[in-house]
Amino acid sequence: MQVFTSVITLTEILSQPLKLGNYNLAREYLDILVTRDEYIVVEISTAPAITAAEIRARFSLRTPDALHAATAIESGCDAFLTNDRGFRRVHDLNVLVLDDLEL
């Protein structure tokens, strides 16, 4: 299984450890996402940016969320894993909400 994530994820997951001065944790997060073969960090280019604009216009998502959704759509992902139920509005995504899954 491959896991696709937007480059925005790096900003989101590194911010708190860096704010707290926990550089080791930030480095661990970065290593997991960047060095493991099963994780693919997708750069944002023109196509996802345009798709994100369409998603913002149709579903009123915030820009970072629209970019995440657009990255999944443009990457051809089978599912979009999140804990944000707001993504369910995006009908082009197969949204799986973590809290709803029985693990």
30: which residues sit within 8 A by CB, 6+ positions away? 10, 14
pTM over 0.75: yes
Model pLDDT for residues 71-80, shown as the tens digit of each residue: 999 999 999 9
* Cα 32 to Cα 100: distance, rounded to the nearest angstrom: 25
pLDDT at 96: 95
Predicted confidence (pLDDT) at residue 103 exceeds the cutoff of 90: no
- CA atoms in the 13 A half-sphere facing the CB of 27: 4
Domain that holds residue 16: 3-100
Tell me how many domains the chain contains: 1
Model pLDDT for residues 2-48, shown as the tens digit of each residue: 899 999 999 999 999 999 999 999 999 999 999 999 999 999 999 99
Domain of 11, CATH number, reads 3.40.50.1010
Angle value at C-alpha 62, between 60 and 64, nearest 5 degrees: 140
